[in-house]
Chains A and B, each alone.
Chain A
Amino acid sequence: MPLTRRELVEAGLSLGAALVAAPALGAAAALPLTPENELGPFYKKGAPTSANLIVPGEAGLPLLVSGKVLDPTGKPLSGAIIEVWHADARGIYDLEGYRYRSRLVAAADGTYRFQTVMPGHYPERVAQHIHYRVSAPGRKVLVTQLYFATDPAFAGDPDHNFSKDPLVRDRRLVRPVTLDDSGGPRAAVLFDAVLGT
């Protein structure tokens, strides 16, 4: 079930709240690698390159996901491939086609972004999530998942409740959500991927 604006506000994540703290990009500071998380059974090869995953007429809170793909020194990994896939707002994955699936390419500054809807709760999982598979030449492929601090499963306290989903093994994968009210409710999440070797 998509999140309502009320749920977002109750979670203390009103418009303008700070997003994920951007990592310091000083050359000396090594960024921590993005934690890995399971690939799951629903990865599908051959997704189209599309930054707009919204399916006209389908329910769901619009969601903007953006971030950077970086190496541990903070150098942008231009041309990195970011494959994303998730369930629709009802918690159902498209197996036959490519709804809510995309293969994005990081820009010269390492940035990527896509529009989609907030994933629903897949019945066999506790938490809403977006799957990621990120690859770049000379880097270890990163397989991970993005979770949402506003997820009702975390009961407003992801610090204490993130492990209610046993697959969420690292708190850092649970990201704050902000609400943009201009032109209708829309959620936004920042998610950087730091790839090791």
Chain B
Amino acid sequence: MPIEAPAPVRGLDLVDGGKRLTARLAGPRLVSWSCADGRLLTDVTYRGPAVTAGALAPAGDRLAVATGDGGVRVLDASTLAVVTEMRPSSSPLGALAFSADGALLAGFARDPHLELTVWNVGTGARLVSFADAAQEAAGIAFHPSGRSAAVALLVGDVVLLDLASARPIRTLSEARMASEALAFSLDGSSLVAASYDGALLAWDTGRWGVRRLEGLRGANGLALTPDGARAVVSRTSYNPPETPAEARILDLGTGRVLAGQQLGIASIAAVAFTGPERARVASARGTSITLRELGG
């Protein structure tokens, strides 16, 4: 299904179990459509200090923004009214990410060195600050318990952080390249990371044994089924830029590719499962968005 955004798309999210598509535009302006029929649901623009980073909660109900003045706010995604004012970060932020349940918010400093802050979204309290001047971060995933987080480093390692003590618990060193996209299964029993070199690494979080599967070279998008049995991975067009964007559904038990589709040239993509072996894929280039169904 083609959808035309009113301005160039800077970010895409498939939220509320893939039922809604939300595009983040300059401003930031947040525009949402129904994935069922492409109907416009909301179109709102944030009026405030210049925004340096933004992230939408997986349920689609909250938008977090970091601003150049050091502020971090959680907004109602349909009105952009401020819901929670977070205790400001010590450095301007360059990236934000919610936990799967929307209860925690991670912020990474704009400075390339790893400087992570985690807030409680409900209270705005700063829970954890963690810095490592020798590392740079590629991505983050919160354990569903909210007690730990996996931080992917640009050197390829994934560091598990205890959020109570802000101390590293374990370093997973099996990935050879950075994993921008990583996720825990809903029950927390597995952690999956899509490494840029095309490997999909699946750890059992009990014994931390790892399985290396063939994913998608240059992958930068990932979603898991609630039981963690299947993954949908996506990549956008880069290195070189004429590389077609692509998405695949993989069975994490067998490594088998269940479905795959090229997405044309796209600079942004988002994926979400809508059934046990069925995923929704949104991709964008400029103002043009395409919604696709993947798998049966």
Contact = CB atoms under 8 A, between A and B. Distances in A.
A40 interface: yes
Interface stretch (A27-35, A73-81, A86-94, A146-154): A86-94
Given A40-B154, A43-B154, A90-B240, A140 B134 contact: yes
Contact of B156 (A43, A91, A141): A43
A95 B240 contact: no
Interface in B95-149: 112, 134, 136, 138
A95 B176 CA distance: 10
| B156, B196, B239, B241: most-surrounded residue (chain A CB, <10 A) | B239
Nearest to B134: A141
A96 B198 contact: yes
A58 interface: no
Given A39-B136, A41-B180, A44-B177, A95 B154 contact: no
A39 B155 CA distance: 8
B241 A46 contact: no
Contacts of B196: 41-42, 95
Interface residues of B, number: 20
Contact of B239 (A46, A95, A133, A143): A95
B217 A96 contact: yes
Contacts of B138: 41
A138 interface: no
Interface string B140-179: 0000000000000011100000000000000000001110
A43 B178 contact: yes
Contacts of A43: 154-156, 177-178
B240 A123 contact: yes
Given A39-B155, A41-B180, A95-B218, A124 B238 contact: yes
Nearest to B220: A41
Contacts of A41: 138, 154, 177-178, 180, 196
Contacts of A140: 134
B197 A38 contact: no
Nearest to B173: A45
Contact of A44 (B112, B176, B180, B218): B176
B196 to A, nearest CB: 6
Interface string A127-147: 000000100000011010000
Contact of A91 (B177, B218, B240): B240
Contact of B238 (A96, A123, A133, A141): A123
Contacts of B240: 90-92, 123
Nearest to B156: A45
Interface string B236-251: 0011110000000000
A39 B154 contact: yes
Chain B contact residues: over half helix, strand or loop, or mixed? loop
Contacts of B178: 41, 43
Which of A38, A90, A92, A95 has the most chain B CB atoms inside 10 A of its CB?
A95
Contacts of A124: 238
Contacts of A39: 112, 136, 154-155
A42 B177 contact: yes
Contact of A38 (B112, B134, B156, B218): B112
A45 B218 contact: no
A44 B197 CA distance: 8
A102 to B, nearest CB: 15
Interface in A15-74: 38-46
A143 B217 CA distance: 24
A8 to B, nearest CB: 25
A95 B155 contact: no
A46 B178 CA distance: 13
Contacts of B134: 140-141
A41 B138 CA distance: 8
A71 to B, nearest CB: 18
Contact of B197 (A40, A96, A133): A96
B241 A45 contact: no
Interface in A108-134: 122-124, 133
Nearest to B176: A45
8 contacts: A41-B178, A44-B156, A44-B176, A44-B177, A45-B177, A91-B240, A95-B177, A95-B217
Interface of B: 112, 134, 136, 138, 154-156, 176-178, 180, 196-198, 217-218, 238-241
User: Which are the 5 A-B pairs with shortest beta-carbon distances?
Assistant: A39-B154, A45-B176, A38-B112, A44-B177, A123-B241
